[in-house]
Each structure stands twice: as C-alpha cells, then as structure tokens.
Chain A
C-alpha cells in the first residue's frame, strides 16, 4: 500500500528535478504538497476524514431533518421485543436499534462527533505537552534531560489502561468530578480527554527530544546563541520550526491510536456516559448482544475501523511526503 505512495513520490521527484532545472525554486511546503497530492491513498484517507468531519458536524441536521430520531430518543415499545431484544434494520431504522431501544444509525452518526472530538482535542494537548517537555529536555540536556526522559520512560511503562480505569473510577463519584490542580475534571468527555493526553504525550515528547538533541548542535543554533538570543527564543524561534514536520507526522499517527484508546475505555464501560453516543460504548453493548443483534456489532465496528484506517493512511502519506527518505 505504502508502495503506491512511494512509486508516486519517486516518479514525482524525478519529474520535479527535471522540471526544476532553471525554472524556479520551490519551498519545502510546496514540495510537500506536490508529493502529497500524488499519493492517492493518503488523499482518500484525507477525503474520508473530511467527510466524517462533515457528517459529525451535520449529525443533528440528519437526525432531526431526515430520520426524525434523536440520539437519546427511546423506542422501547416498537424497537424492542417483549423480552427486551432489539430489532434489526428496517426502513425507519437503517441500522436497527440498540439494546436500550435507540436508533443505532443516529447513535453511530453522533458517535463520529465523540470520536473525532476526543481524538483531536486529546492529541492537541498531548502534542502541546510533549513538544514543550521534549524541547526542554533536548535543549538543556544534563540533569533536566535525565529527569524528563526518565519520566517519559516511566509513563510509557505504566499499565496505562489500568491507570486510566482507576482515575476514571475515582473521579466519577461527585458531580464536580476530580480537582486535579487548577483543573476540574468532570466525568465524561473531560476526564477521558485528560487521561488520553496524560498517557500519550511522551510519544511526542520522545520524538521532539531526539530531534532537538541533534538540532541543538547545528550551526544555526550556535549562530543564534552567539548573537545573544535567549534560550526561549532559540527553542521556539530557531529549533521549533524545524520540528513541525515530525510533529505533524507523529500527531497524525497518534490520532488513530487515541481514537482506539477512547473506544477501549468506553468498551470497558469507563469512557463517556450512556447519554453521549460512542462507538466503543456501542461495541461494548454489542458484546452482550451480537449473538442476536449483529447490527450492533457491524455498524459501529465498521465506522470505527474506517476512521482509524483513514487517519493511518493520512499519517503514512504525510510521513512519506515530508520525509521521502523513509525507505518507501
């Protein structure tokens, strides 16, 4: 798969070289876009993600305007049998009903919102924390580096799902949730986002640290230093711009794993509450019901895999386009 991508790149590069002779120089971003455009799979991934984003945004329009069912509207009289077994897809309920008698199509649609929201926000936080800490560790080195690197090691070797379960369980007993420093973590989305960010920042942190370590030795940093630039300025003005590419690549690659993380938490019954539709939650319900209600497994499962697959395609494409030396 990546192969087609690299074929395109190789071809593109050859073309680019020929074309560039004596014509005009290209900025790295133009070059990146040029390569990326050729990567059909990555483009497909991007298009699907955009479509999912649009679906998420217009979910209320579809649910109220077309199917006329709300995400928490109950149809226990019509869509559950006398014994409480959900009924399958029909003209009104395209994906059938879930075990509480709600419209599964609408639930899955709204689930897109939840997944994207959690993944993007949590990844954003993780990238922010990871970048700052990685920069500091890599730039200053010495004891600071040792401390921060070891912290990252420890976080990475923690049984994270387990800690996530503990934190979520502990923070769900009061209406205010958990006060962690200045943050008030209310159960539901905020706590899930917090937990995911808490455990995924070291991935970015390590990459940033490694890159910073080598960049800090480069001449342009020496030059900036000799001109009397402050540490903060060197870190954020000189080094940081060179980190954008790897950060972009790796954050696009941790988005899908964060989507799976949220789904896993919800699968264990510890993610978002019932009232917020989530694919992981739907799949968790499905584990009790799939023997009699296959639709509860197939539809949320399909959307979940489609989403993570698209992000992975996009991430691969970005990596190839930004760094053609990855051996593709």
Chain B
C-alpha cells in the first residue's frame, strides 16, 4: 500500500512537470509580445526593457527559465516553499495571491459539490426505483436539460430573473463569510446552484443507470429471495455497488473544479482562481498563469489518488499492486 501511494505520488509529480512544461511552451514560447515592455512605461529605452527582463528572469532562454521555475517550485524561492515567483502586476508573491484566490474557488466548489450530490444522487435513486413513472420522466428530463444548458446561459438567465426582475437575490460579486454570513450565503447561492446543475444532471443519469444495472444482478435477486425488505436490498446491497463509480467521478470533477471554474467565476464575478487566471493571461502575467496551472494539475492528480485509495475501502475486490 505505502509503495503504491509513493508510486502514485511520483506520478503526480510527473504529471505536474509535464503540464507545466507544456504551459511554458504555450505561454512563454509562443509569440505574444514581450511582457517586460508592458511594465517599462510609455517610451521605454532598451536599457529599461532589459532591466525589467532581468528582474522578471526573462533574459534567459525559456528552457533555463523552466529549469529555474522547477527548482523554485520544489526547493522554494525567496518567499519560501513552494516557490511560485512574483506577480508582474503587483510584485507580490504569486503564492499569496494564489492561496487567497483558491479559498474563494474552494468555497464555490464545496458548496456546489454539496448541492449536486444532494440533488443528483437522490434523483438518480428515485428515478431508478420509480422507473417509468412520471417522477422518473420529469427527473430525466431535468437531467437532460442540465447537461445541455451551458453554465453561462443558466447563470445569466438566473441573474436576469432572480436579481434583476424578482430582486430576491444579490447580483454578482463576493462577500466573505466573516464580514456577513447571510450575505455570503445569498451571494453564493446562485453560483452554487448554477454550477451544480450540470453535475447534478450527470450524476442523476449515472446513478440511475448504475442502480438499474445493479438491481438486475444475481446477488440482488438472491437478497430478495432471502426475503429481505426491499428498502434494505436497495440501500445495503444495491447502492453500495452502484455508488462506487460515482466516487471516482466525483474525485475527478472536484479536483478539476478546484483548479478554477473559469466560466462560473466570470459570470458571477467571483475573485477565484478562474477569474485570476483569465486576468493573468490577458495581462501576460506569466508567473500567475503558471501558478494556477500547477495548482489545477495538482488538485486533479491529488484527488485521483485519493479516490483510488478510497476505492480499496469501498470495493474489497480492488487490490493494489
């Protein structure tokens, strides 16, 4: 088990290296102008541009920059470990900005995850058990709509209806929990629900499909034949097997979300990683871009690992080798 975890951790590091390498190629090598020029004033002299390049470390060839970046990432830089460098815009450590932005994204992701699990799984179960009834049809209709409607359409519609016309929910923006808990909740309600709809729909469909399949398996028939009450059959035997794939899926989705929900954050103007990275790309603030990429890749790889380990407990058939 320990060896397996270590091997997987090494793999996580490898993935991060590969992805950061690709981001260096995409963002540093492709020709979109010299970022140093932007921070050198209106009519910069060559000397000044060179000075800024030096300060930003842009005077080295890109592969050397990549090497320095990797070194700082693993060994730390002047701002400690892990080293993400300094933001071109604010000259603040990217690390601090990343963490404060990640906190907002985290609140969005956790809230949305609660909503989509609370919606998706029960809907899926009820649909499967009440197969071919009105409830099932309505649920699956909702699910189909959920997977078809892009977040920005739902988000804008929601703002249009609940904020502009009904005036029952606040508009876009972010309020911290500590400053006003009620406002915080209302402010997050729309992004949580809108973001979670897509996932809720996927999960409902998946749970329904899995449960239907499981319920037709032999051991369920056996359980029923033993005279167990239906409730017990479903919840003890049926659900356990059909929820295991949901766990995998959840790990992937949650990891991906933590890296920044670009569209949701843009629509609702949340100062999370998603809006941060869009701003950073627009400003050619390369250290910030790469910082978000690293964080995003890390979350995905990390949650995959967590899920695989969880699997061992949920599904005794899985053994690590």
Contact = CB atoms under 8 A, between A and B. Distances in A.
A309 B157 contact: no
A193 B136 CA distance: 37
Taking each of A159, A178, A294, A311, which has the highest tally of chain B beta carbons within 10 Å of its own beta carbon?
A: A159
B199 to A, nearest CB: 14
Interface string B270-289: 00000001100110000001
B209 interface: yes
Interface string B283-304: 0000001001100110011001
Interface in A127-176: 153-154, 157-159, 161-163, 165-167, 169-171, 173-174
A273 interface: no
A308 B150 CA distance: 9
Contacts of A305: 145, 148-150, 153
Contacts of B30: 166-167, 170-171, 178
A1 interface: yes
A3 B205 CA distance: 11
Interface size class of A (residues with CB under 8 A): 35 or more
B94 interface: no
A4 B266 CA distance: 38
A297 B157 contact: yes
A297 B293 CA distance: 32
B209 A166 contact: no
Contacts of B32: 169-170, 173
Contacts of B256: 157, 159
A297 B156 CA distance: 8
Contacts of A244: none
A260 B263 CA distance: 11
A84 interface: no
- What DSSP secondary structure best describes chain A's contact surface? helix
A163 B23 contact: yes
A267 B263 CA distance: 8
Given A301-B156, A327-B209, A166 B148 contact: no
Interface residues of B, number: 57
A294 B277 CA distance: 29
Interface in B203-220: 205, 209-210, 212-213, 216
A220 B113 CA distance: 46
A7 interface: yes
B233 to A, nearest CB: 17
A268 B262 contact: yes
Contacts of B216: 327
Given A3-B131, A169-B281, A173-B32, A309 B145 contact: yes
Contacts of B282: 169
Contacts of A4: 137
A263 B293 contact: no
B132 A3 contact: yes
Nearest to A261: B150
Interface of A: 1-4, 7, 153-154, 157-159, 161-163, 165-167, 169-171, 173-174, 178, 256, 260, 263-264, 267-268, 280, 283-284, 286-287, 290-291, 294, 297, 301, 304-305, 308-309, 311-313, 316, 326-328
In order of increasing CB-CB distance, the 4 nearest A-B pairs are A170-B30, A327-B212, A1-B140, A309-B148
9 contacts: A3-B140, A161-B262, A162-B260, A162-B293, A166-B281, A267-B263, A294-B160, A301-B156, A327-B213
